[in-house]
């Protein structure tokens, strides 16, 4: 355990490390603002489509009520909702990883550098486990990205988690290496603090994802407008949905729905 | 651990990490050439790998994109990664991860010390170099977008036949739109925000010098993606790229989407850097009430970009996955919604107008006291205007969606918020006019640009009120009136203001005065052309001419002919202004350190500006813009014995 020495200076600018640390914290919080906005965009997308249930297409085809069963098209007919528990297991792993990182930061701040390395390594291992779990979840969903808006939204939320985890993993490897080399120490530990803060935000982001995918599953809109059954459309001669050849580069084409044929 | 020490910025005995090899390490060998080379190699390699792995179109499901799309997208991603790798953008993070920190010598090399002109072609961290690089990139993007504008006006002016195919014409419209939007977003914040702000607040550099370079080179990578899209069908549904049209457009749409995704990252990084610099690096004594108005403008613009750009970015990420991965976010047949796209898009789309306008307005307010030799009229009122715009900017997006049928019940609240935002914008105009009042007018090129800006902004602002009004918008929506309005705001106010800012700071950036005669000829030529082009476009819009059309009724011929003639005059004016920049930069009259007699900190530095700006960091003792106000310290110093002089600071 080393005692704090005289004011440590940053090698490239000659400024006190405390000044650099303050600057780093401000920058980090601002970067988190941008990240929060992006995550909100995804959550808005999820909840917006969940609330509208456009054309009865929110649920995966296998979980739909009968009036939309025609919209299976290229989708998997047996696709259904995702299990909820994996979201929470992944959250737990990310949370434990973050706790370990905070422990590492507190340890290095108190001068226990060996404990700090242990905490950072533990945090890294837990994040790797979370990353693998997230990957397994994405690849084993009972639906694909085309299987309704729910499928698309859930997969993108998980992809966002995956991106966060990869970023954190990169940071953690750096923290382990730097702590081991003594570059993060009792005097200079703002990088550990910054990573701990960022990981705390990642926990919040994963938590928000787990909450919406657990509690906002079946759409509250049980009587959505369905294409081909609008009153004005029903009076005039309905057109068949676009054929695959008409929109070769668009998203899934449709098979004709009974109401439109 | 090495115990080597060195003197850094006057501080002795600063411990240095081990120096591995020559300062700069591998960065000594990386530059724009290696960036282009690795970018091209990665683009070709990624495209080739994907072409080899992707099943041919005949065996893919019918809803999957055709193979060339995957190849093009892989090529673009390969380009961005390869280019940034070749520039050395990943060296810093890797060094950090490996625990090999920069020494002071490394940092000085990275900042371009003793590199001469080569530093402009490298991943240089000095904020002044980045500012100049931004200026050049901005001019290039303007040139590209402006050329497309000329082609559009050529098509619309030749009313007796078609010059281009409808597909190419649509592509011109969309690409021109987004190129100009990008150019205008960076026009002031890029060159002037980077070059001037650190000096203006009395700092030696930006908070994060390497992130500064990263934001610039990401922008270059994104610009190449955008230009490439023109060669694969372009983007044919306007700069807003509405869905589901975007999913059905040619592969060029992928270029647009990746451009926005990368540009948003660049913008976020630049915003964080500028805001952190302003928040944490202001000189001693520079309290918020002594901070120049331009700094407020840059801060506000960065803040709006920071919270709003991610929505735009995610709208394009979702659109991209819809297109290449088969997600259904914007496909109503499977539960998606096009309104979702419109909301995400306009959540940036309208704050973006203020991201452009606020720095432009701020730079004009910054230069006005210098040329009117009097304090800014109501500095506090100007700050209130900026704060008001920021506060309301996120509450006006849906006025772009009055006619889409989305949530008609909220049309009127959005009408109210949109009309309310004209109040803080009006503050800024009033401050400008108030500053003119009884000023000692010293009409130089920068002030001429202010005249042009105020005129255009009044017209743009007033016509905007009609569009914010729901009943009026039912008529004007989708017409040439809208096009004329936003050009008056974005170009008439934004671009002319940027021209003023560049003319004002040109001596500091280049060490030479921007040629006043050639520059003012260019400025006023462009101004006259601008009134012809967009004034007659208002007329066409009032007559009912829709926007984004290739063919139109004969009744609109005259206004379109006038618009096209005006556009060519704008083009001529811009070329003259560009010639003034190039001529002045290479062989113009040399400028002293403070040719305008400004009181701001950035003008108190030596010329050329030293690498670290100030030998000794300045201390600020008074509010900015005290032109024409007797300096109480001078009075106290000049007082003879027996004179009664009130002590400075005494109540």
The ipTM assigned to this model is 0.91
User: Which residues, 6+ apart, have CB-to-CB distance to B104 below 8 Å?
Assistant: A11, A12, A14, B6, B8, B14, B16
> CA-nearest residue of chain B to A227?
B333
Please tell me the distance in Å from A89's CA to the nearest CA on chain B.
25
pLDDT at B641: 53
> Smallest Cβ distance to B279: which of A26, A252, A253?
A26
Question: What's the confidence (pLDDT) of residue B468?
Answer: 94
Phi, psi of B284 (to 5 degrees): -60, 135
Question: pLDDT value at position B646?
Answer: 47
Bridge partners for B230 per DSSP: none
Q: Quote the pLDDT of residue A6.
A: 64
Q: Which of A13, A40, A57 sits opposite B333 (nearest CB)?
A: A57
- Exposed, middle or buried by CB within 10 Å (0-12, 13-18, 19+), for A5? exposed
Asked if the bond preceding B142 is cis, omega within 30° of 0, the reply is no
> Confidence class of residue B371 from pLDDT cuts 50, 70 and 90?
very high
Does the pLDDT of residue A101 top 60, yes or no? Answer: yes
pLDDT at B421 over 70: yes
Cα-based distances in Å from B284 to B403, B452, B604, B616 = 52, 37, 16, 12
Note the pLDDT of residue A252.
39
**Alpha-carbon span A144 to A79, nearest angstrom:** 8
Q: Do the bridges between strand B5-8 and strand B11-15 make them parallel or antiparallel, or are there none, so unpaired?
A: antiparallel
pLDDT digits (tens, 9 = 90+) for B102-144: 999 999 999 999 999 999 999 999 999 999 999 999 999 999 9
- Confidence class for position A12, pLDDT limits 50, 70, 90: confident
Q: Work out the burial of residue B194: count CB atoms within 10 Å of its CB; fewer than 13 is exposed, 13-18 middle, 19 or more buried.
A: buried
Q: What is the pLDDT of residue A69?
A: 46
CB contact under 8 A, A156 and B335: no
A254 band by pLDDT with thresholds 50, 70 and 90: very low
Kindly list the residues from chain B whose CB atom is less than 8 angstroms away from the CB atom of residue A42.
314
Chain A residues near residue B208 by CB distance under 8 angstroms: 27
pLDDT of residue B637: 58
Q: Rounded to an integer, what distance in angstroms lies between the CA atom of residue B459 and that of residue B435?
A: 20
Is the pLDDT confidence value at B467 over 70?
Answer: yes
Say yes or no for a CB contact (<8 Å) between A156 and B343: no
Label each residue of B527-560 as H, E or C.
HHHHHHHHHHHHHHHHHCCECCCCCCCHHHHHHH
Question: Does the pLDDT at position B354 exceed 90?
Answer: yes
Q: Does residue B600 surpass a pLDDT of 50?
A: yes
Contacts of A37 in chain B (CB under 8 A): 306-311
pLDDT band at A231 (very low <50, low <70, confident <90, very high): very low
Please name the member of B99, B280, B326 whose beta carbon is closest to the beta carbon of A181: B99
A178 — pLDDT class (breaks 50, 70, 90): very high
Q: Where are the domains of chain A?
A: 27-61+75-215
CB spacing of B14 vs A23 below 8 angstroms: no
Question: What residues of chain A lie within 8 A of the CB of B69, using their CB?
Answer: 249
- Section B299-303 average pLDDT: 97
- Considering the entire predicted model, what is its pTM? 0.91
Mean pLDDT, range B538-565, rounded to an integer: 95
Tally C-beta pairs within 8 A across A and B.
225
Residues of chain B with C-beta less than 8 angstroms from the C-beta of A74: 61-63
Position A73 scores a pLDDT of 55
Whether B318 sits inside 8 A of A22 (CB atoms) is no
pLDDT of residue B397: 93
Across the interface, do A146 and B16 touch by the CB < 8 Å criterion?
no
> Do residue B328 and residue A148 have CB atoms under 8 angstroms apart?
yes
Check residue B635 and give its pLDDT. 61
H/E stretch holding B468 reads: helix B445-468
- How far is Cα of residue B305 from the mean position of the Cα atoms in its chain? 10
For residue A228, what pLDDT band results from cuts at 50, 70 and 90? low
- Kindly determine whether residue A55 and residue B275, on different chains, have CB atoms separated by under 8 Å: no
Mean pLDDT of the B19-44 span? 95
Per residue in A104-131, pLDDT (tens digit) is 999 999 999 999 999 999 999 999 999 9
Per-residue pLDDT, averaged over B298-323, amounts to 96
B444 in helix, strand or coil? coil
CA atoms of A210 and A208, how far apart (whole Å): 5
What residues of A are in contact with residue B307 (Cβ under 8 Å)? 33-34, 37
Share of chain A above pLDDT 90, in %: 70
Any A CB within 8 A of B267 CB: no
Q: Which chain A residues are closer than 8 Å to B207 by Cβ?
A: 23, 26-27
Could you give the 3-state DSSP secondary structure of residue B332?
A: helix
pLDDT band at B643 (very low <50, low <70, confident <90, very high): low
Q: What is the DSSP string of B586-635?
A: HH-PBP-S-TT---SGGGGS-SSPPTTS-SS--B--S-S--TTS--HHHH
**Nearest residue of B to residue A12, measured between CA atoms:** B104
pLDDT tens-digit readout, B442-462 = 999 999 999 999 999 999 999
The correct answer on CATH 1.20.120.80 for the domain covering A27-61+75-215 is: yes
Distance from C-alpha of A140 to C-alpha of A210, rounded to nearest angstrom: 17
Least confident of A17-21, A243-247, B226-230, B578-582: A243-247
Residue count (chain B)? 651
Residues 321-340 of B with CB under 8 A from A: 321-323, 325-337, 340
As a whole number of angstroms, the distance between CA A150 and CA A216 comes to 10
Residue B188 has a pLDDT of: 95
The answer, yes or no, to whether residue A60 has pLDDT greater than 50, is: yes
pLDDT score, position A257: 37
In the predicted model, is pLDDT for residue A55 greater than 80? yes
B402-411 pLDDT tens trace: 998 888 999 9
Mean pLDDT in chain B? 92
For residues B496-520, average pLDDT: 96
DSSP characters over B317-359: HHHHHHHHT---TT-GGGT--HHHHHHHHHHHHTHHHHHHHHH
Question: Do B336 and A149 count as a contact with CB atoms less than 8 A apart?
Answer: yes
What is the fold, at CATH topology level, of the domain defined by B125-587? Cytochrome C Oxidase; Chain A (1.20.210)
**What's the gap in Å between the CA of B545 and the closest CA on chain A?**
29
Instruction: Tell me whether residues B273 and A27 touch, CB distance under 8 A.
Output: yes
> Mean pLDDT, to the nearest integer, of B367-394?
95
Confidence label for B222 from pLDDT (cuts 50, 70 and 90)? very high
Higher pLDDT, B5 or A2: B5
């Amino acid at each position: 355990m080393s005692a704090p020495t005289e004011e440590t200076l940053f090698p490239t600018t000659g400024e006190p490390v405390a000044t650099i640390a303050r600057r780093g914290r401000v920058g980090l919080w601002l970067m988190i603002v941008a990240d929060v906005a992006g995550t909100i965009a995804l959550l808005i997308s999820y909840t917006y489509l969940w609330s509208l249930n456009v054309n009865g297409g929110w649920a995966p085809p296998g979980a739909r009520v009968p009036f939309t069963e025609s919209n299976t098209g290229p989708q998997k007919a047996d696709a259904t909702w995702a299990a909820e528990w994996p979201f929470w297991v992944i959250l737990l792993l990310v949370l434990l990883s973050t706790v370990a990182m905070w422990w590492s930061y507190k340890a290095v701040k108190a001068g226990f550098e060996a404990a700090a390395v242990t905490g950072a390594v533990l945090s890294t291992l837990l994040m790797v486990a979370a990353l693998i779990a997230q990957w397994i979840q994405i690849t084993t969903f009972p639906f694909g990205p085309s299987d309704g808006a729910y499928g698309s939204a859930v997969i993108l939320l998980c992809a966002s988690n995956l991106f966060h985890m990869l970023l954190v993993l990169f940071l953690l490897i750096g923290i382990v290496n730097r702590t081991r080399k003594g570059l993060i120490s009792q005097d200079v530990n703002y990088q550990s603090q910054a990573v701990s803060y960022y990981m705390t935000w990642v926990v919040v982001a994963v938590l928000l994802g787990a909450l919406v995918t657990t509690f906002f599953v079946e759409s509250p809109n049980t009587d959505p407008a369905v294409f081909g059954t609008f009153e004005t459309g029903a009076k005039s001669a309905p057109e068949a949905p676009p054929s695959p050849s008409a929109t070769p580069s668009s998203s899934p084409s449709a098979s004709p729905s009974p109401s439109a044929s | 651990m090495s115990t080597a020490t060195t003197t850094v910025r006057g501080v002795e005995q600063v411990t240095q990490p081990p120096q591995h090899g020559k300062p700069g390490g591998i960065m000594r060998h990386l530059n724009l050439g290696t960036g282009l080379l690795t970018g091209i190699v990665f683009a070709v390699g990624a495209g080739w790998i994907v072409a080899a792995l992707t099943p041919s179109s005949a065996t893919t499901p019918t809803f999957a994109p055709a193979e060339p799309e995957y190849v093009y997208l892989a090529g673009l991603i390969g380009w961005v990664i390869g280019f940034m790798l070749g520039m050395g953008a990943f060296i810093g993070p890797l060094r950090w991860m490996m625990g090999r920190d920069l020494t002071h010598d490394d940092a000085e090399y990275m900042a371009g010390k003793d590199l001469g002109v080569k530093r402009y072609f490298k991943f240089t961290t000095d904020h002044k170099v980045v500012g100049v690089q931004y200026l050049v990139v901005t001019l290039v993007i303007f040139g590209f977008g402006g050329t497309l504008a000329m082609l559009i006006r050529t098509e619309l002016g030749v009313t007796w036949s078609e010059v281009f195919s409808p597909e190419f014409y649509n592509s011109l419209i969309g690409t021109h739109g987004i190129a100009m939007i990008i150019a205008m977003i960076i026009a002031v914040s890029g060159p002037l925000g980077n070059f001037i702000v650190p000096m203006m607040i009395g700092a030696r550099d930006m908070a994060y010098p390497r992130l500064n370079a990263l934001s610039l080179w990401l922008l270059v990578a994104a610009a190449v993606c955008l230009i490439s899209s023109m060669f694969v069908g372009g983007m044919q549904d306007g700069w807003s790229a509405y869905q589901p049209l975007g999913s059905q457009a040619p592969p060029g749409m992928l270029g647009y989407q990746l451009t926005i995704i990368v540009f948003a990252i660049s913008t976020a990084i630049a915003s964080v850097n500028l805001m952190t610099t302003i928040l944490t690096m202001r000189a001693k004594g520079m309290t918020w009430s002594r901070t120049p108005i331009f700094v407020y403008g840059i801060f506000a613009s960065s803040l709006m970009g920071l919270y709003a750009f991610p929505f735009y970015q995610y709208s394009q990420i979702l659109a991209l996955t819809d297109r290449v991965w088969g997600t259904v976010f914007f496909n109503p047949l499977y539960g998606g919604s096009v309104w979702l796209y419109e909301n995400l898009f306009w959540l940036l789309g309208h704050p973006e107008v203020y991201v452009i306008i606020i720095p432009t307005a701020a730079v004009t307010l910054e230069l006005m006291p210098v040329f009117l030799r009097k304090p800014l009229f109501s500095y506090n009122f100007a700050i209130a205007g900026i704060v008001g715009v920021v506060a309301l900017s996120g509450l006006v997006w849906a006025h772009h969606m009055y006619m889409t049928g989305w949530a008609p019940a909220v049309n009127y609240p959005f009408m109210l918020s949109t009309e309310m935002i004209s109040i803080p914008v009006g503050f800024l105009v009033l401050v400008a006019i108030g500053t003119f009042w009884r000023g000692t007018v010293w009409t130089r090129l920068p002030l001429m640009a202010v005249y042009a800006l105020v005129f255009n902004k009044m017209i743009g602002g007033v016509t905007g009120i009609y569009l914010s009004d729901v009943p009026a918008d039912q008529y004007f929506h989708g017409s040439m009136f809208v096009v004329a309005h936003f050009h008056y705001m974005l170009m008439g106010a934004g671009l002319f203001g940027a021209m003023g800012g560049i003319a004002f700071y040109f001596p500091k950036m280049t060490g030479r005065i921007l040629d006043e005669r050639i520059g003012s000829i260019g400025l006023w030529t462009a101004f006259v052309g601008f009134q012809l082009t967009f004034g007659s476009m208002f007329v066409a819009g009032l007559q009912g001419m829709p926007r984004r059309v290739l063919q139109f009724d004969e009744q609109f011929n005259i206004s379109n002919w006038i618009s096209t003639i005006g556009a060519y005059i704008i083009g001529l004016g811009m070329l003259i202004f560009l010639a003034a920049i190039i001529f002045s930069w290479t062989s113009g009259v040399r400028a002293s350190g403070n040719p305008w007699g400004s009181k701001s900190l950035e003008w108190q530095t030596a010329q050329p500006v030293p690498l670290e700006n100030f030998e000794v960091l300045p201390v600020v003792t008074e509010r900015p813009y005290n032109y024409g106000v007797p300096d109480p310290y001078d009075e106290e110093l000049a007082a003879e014995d027996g004179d009664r002089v009130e002590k400075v600071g005494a109540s």
